[in-house]
Each structure stands twice: as C-alpha cells, then as structure tokens.
Amino acid sequence: MRALASRRGPLAAVAALAGLTLALSACSSSDGDGGDGATSGGSGSATVGATLLSLEYPFLVNLDQAMKDEATKQDVKLISLDPRQKTATEFTQIEDLITQQVDAIVMIPVDQEASQAAAKAVNDADIPLILVNTRFTDSFDGDYVTYVGSDDTEAGEIQGKYLLDALPDGGKVIYLVGQYGGASTERRKEGFYKALEGHDEIEIVTELEAQGSRAEAKSVMEDLLQRYGKGEVQAVITQSDEMAIGAASAIQEAGRSDEFTAIAGVDGSDAGLDAINDGLITATVFQDAVGQGTTAMEVAAKVVAGEQVDKQILIPFQLVTADNLADFRK
C-alpha cells in the first residue's frame, strides 16, 4: 500500500491542553457548557452516572436509549450526560457525578489520552468505572472495572479487507477519519492500514479529518472532487456512516457516482443501511449500539450489586453490503 502522510490537525493537542486546564475553570453541568443531561430508569436506590462522548452521533443516541431502557428493567436510576465531544465538559460532568455520589460511572471517553484525567478522578473517588465503546491508550495507569464494546481495530481491518475485495486490481482511495486523538479514530485507522500492508496496488491519495459529520464530509468531498479529475479515484472509505453518506452525497450531486466502486462507512446505523439500500454507499461495518448500551447497564447493575464481571466484554463488528442487508434492517 502506498499512502500520503496524514494531515493531522492540532485537535489532539488542544484537547490535551483542555484536559490540563479544565480543573481551574470547572463549572456546573447545568450551565451553558455543562452538556445536556437526562435522568431515567427505575426508582431503585442505586444510581449510575454516564458521560457519553457526543449525542450528535446517531449511533450514540441509540446506545444511550438502550442504556435508559435497560436501566428501567434493572430498576436503576441513570443520569445520562452529553459532553459534546469536549474534554473540559466531560471532566466537569464527572466531577458533578462524583459530588452526587453515584454508585457507578459509565464513560465513553472523548479523547483516549486527555480524558484519562477524568477517569483518574473517578478512581480517586473510589467509584467503579465502566468504559463503553472507547478505550484509553495502553499508557493509561488508572483502573476500570470492565470494558464493554467492540474492538475498533477490527472495524478498520474489516474495511481494509473489503476494499481489497472491491478493488482486486488496485486503485486510488480517499480515507476520511473522525477526530484525531479519539480512540476510535486511531484504532480504526490502525486496523485499516494494517489490512492494506503489502498491497502496493492500493494507494491512499488523501487522508482527512471530517469530524464524524455528514455535513463536514460532504464539504471535504466537494473540495476533493475539484482536486481529483474524472476517474482518478475509485473508492472512499470513511470511519462512520454519517461521513460516508456526506461524501456520497457530494459525489452524487457532482454526477460522478459511476467512478466509485466502493463507498463505505462504519456503524450500521439506520441511515447507513438505508443508504446501502438506495445505492448511495456500498458497505458499512455494523456496530451494535443496542447491544453495547444494554450490556453496559447490565454490567453496571451487577457491579453496584457487588457481583464480579469480566474485565472485557467484546461485541463483534460485522460487514454489511447489499448481499446481506436484509439481515440487519428492521
């Protein structure tokens, strides 16, 4: 595989700086920067707090709803918070949950490094920490009870293998990632490039950040369509369905859909599955939001009750194309 140097922005550095300075300016989660929160679930005496990366993503909205539904079944009160992908807000929410003396905290970290400060605050408060969907870097020296989620490296590997099958004679590829510094971004990227090792027939001509956003990916793709002429690029691989749909929309509106053999995302969201059905994108890698959210609350209820749980509970990714789409549509 041939690849250009990735264009890594300064976001990871900004996030890290925010993580160091946020303690000086912590504010209540009820104010403008505190994020949206909702209390749901049962009326039992146990309370679980959760801070969930960003609820602008459909996948995480579904995961959050699954947690709420399971909290009701478990008769556990759930305080669910949205840090809006800001480490400073995340830290403030964690502090608020500690102040409320919740019985356990569920966390989808905003940043695999900068969010470690919030996790260590949970450790210092002697509250059980459950990581969901996103891991910290291997350098994390804090503690957590269990990780519930998928291996994001696997998602990248599945995309890479799909790309090799889709372009057996090779080709040029645009790769759109989420947010640099985010654990899912870095791990999916690692798996993707690992799958392409030794395949010089595949050339990644551009790797760009698109924030996991449909609108941002569409804008980025519109610019790239100006850079690359007709027939110069054969595939677009993205790290989320929203980015795949945004990129595909730009391609479609430019009247250049026939040039692209593969347009793929990750999540297996309803919108992503619909896009495969409509022929807008060619594949997604299904990530079980309901399974992750439900399992997270099942585990939280066990932890609060003093039961032992496995250190890692993995829920596998699955490739979805037009061939097996019916198996995943509701």
Query: Amino acid letter at 247?
Result: A
212: phi then psi, degrees, rounded to nearest 5: 70, 10
pLDDT digit string (tens) for 149-190? Answer: 999 999 999 999 999 999 999 999 999 999 898 878 999 999
Helix (H) or strand (E) holding 279: none
What pLDDT shows up at residue 206?
A: 98
What pLDDT shows up at residue 28?
A: 30
The percent of residues above 90 in pLDDT, for the chain, comes to 81
Confidence of residue 330 (pLDDT cuts 50, 70, 90): confident
Q: Which residues pair with 130 in a beta bridge?
A: 106, 146
Domain ranges of the chain: 19-150+289-315, 152-286
**Residue 212 CA: distances (Å) to CA of 51, 137, 172, 221, 322:** 19, 20, 22, 13, 23
Q: Does domain 19-150+289-315 have CATH number 3.40.50.2300?
A: yes
- Looking at per-residue pLDDT, the higher value among 10 and 249 belongs to 249
For domain 152-286, the CATH architecture is 3-Layer(aba) Sandwich (3.40)
**Residue 234 CA: distances (Å) to CA of 167, 237, 262, 321:** 8, 10, 7, 17
Angle at 284 between CA 283 and CA 285, to 5 degrees: 135
